[in-house]
Amino acid sequence: MAGNILVTRKLPGNAIDELAERYNVEVWDREEKISRYELKRKIKDKDALICLLADKIDREVIDSAPNLKIIANYAVGYDNIDVEYATRKGIYVTNTPDVLTDATAELAWALLFAVARRLREADMFLREGKFKGWEPELFLGKEVTGSRIGVIGAGRIGRSFMKKGKGFDIKWCYYSRTRKNDLEVEFNARFVDTLTMFERCDFVSLHVPLTDETYHLIKKEHFDRSNGRVILINTARGAVVDEEEMIKALYDGRLRGAGLDVFEKEPYVPPSLMNLSNVVLLPHIGSATHRTREKMAEMVAKNVDMALKGHIPPNLVNKELLEK
Ligand code: NAP
Ligand code: GLV
Ligand code: GLV
């Protein structure tokens, strides 16, 4: 066998089984997720790690794996990994971009519509037997067509989200690290700062990665400006938003509603959020389609295979390693 691989969860599709034909693969297949203790113990003799965004791969975990050559994250976001330390140790870090872009952008729209048109409340109402016939004022919501939407983070998913909105006559604005001329031409999108966005938009959708710079990027000042109009959609990472301030703004009406797939301290979801009717809460399912999750498994397998064969893995995050 050319290498020992640890996979911290059973993944959809056949990619890991195929990898196991060529390598020594150990899959953590228990009901509960792998504990930190078990992770540190099992990684000791491994050359490669395939892990989830819920696995914290910090310095201590990395230090328990003297032979580790690659950490292949089964996600596009990699804020769960101490990439800087991995780089110092000469370990490749890879992710799964592109294959989950459509699925995640779709989910952002699903949340947006669900909150705007009050699907969760209306569904509950019907199931509780309260539907007594058509009513002129039953569950009036916010019309999406013709609305003004702000996108924060005009990368793969942010752009795909915009592209999928064609047909809804959206007035777009966006904010990103750098200006995107093509978006300004194709979507007539205006580049605005994030505070202005909360003043002017009906919806704001977040698509930035979680980094030191984007931690609590959306905070009290934004909600103070939003004047009861904005519906916030977050399929990025919980900690991009100051969750406590967001909850206050949802309670006192500065924010009109929120559609959330991610939370600051996942899997913990504050009970105060659960009590709100103007929010839709999902258990981090942005990329959760059969097709996407199988492709993600193929990608982590490919990255590991390449690294263990001594090649550069195709979805390398820490490209600085190539300069060494
Ligand atoms: P991406 O292509 O790298 O796009 C991220 C964009 O964010 C980039 O265009 C970048 O802007 C922008 N950005 C980065 N730092 C910024 C900053 N400090 N200020 C303003 N803009 C900044 O990544 P992606 O594939 O679209 O994924 C985005 C994130 O979505 C992931 O990192 C992950 O956390 C999240 N995600 C969640 C789910 C889910 O299940 N809910 C699924 C997939 C992904 P520039 O281009 O201007 O530099
Ligand atoms: C999911 O959240 C991802 O980053 O892939
Ligand atoms: C609603 O169902 C309508 O026909 O207007």
CA of 175 to the centre of ligand 2 (A): 21
Q: Look at residue 1 in the predicted model and tell me its pLDDT.
A: 55
Question: Ligand 2: which residue has its CA nearest to atom 4?
Answer: 77
State the pLDDT at residue 2. Answer: 83
| Residue ranges in the chain modelled with pLDDT below 70 | 1
H helix or E strand, kind and range, residue 51: strand 48-51
Give the C-alpha distances (Å, rounded to integers) separating 308 from 40, 48, 90: 21, 8, 14
Q: How far is the CA of 170 from the centre of ligand 1 (A)?
A: 21
The answer to whether residue 320 is catalytic is no
Domains for the chain: give ranges and CATH numbers: 4-98+290-323 (3.40.50.720), 101-281 (3.40.50.720)
By the 8 A CB rule, do 231 and 114 touch?
no
Known catalytic membership, residue 128: no
Annotation says 245 is catalytic: no
pLDDT tens digits, one per residue of 35-86: 999 999 999 999 999 999 999 999 999 999 999 999 999 999 999 999 999 9
Q: Which two tokens stand for residue 302?
A: 């490919």
Two tokens, residue 102: 């459509």
Token output for 76: 């596009």
What pTM did the predictor assign? 0.98
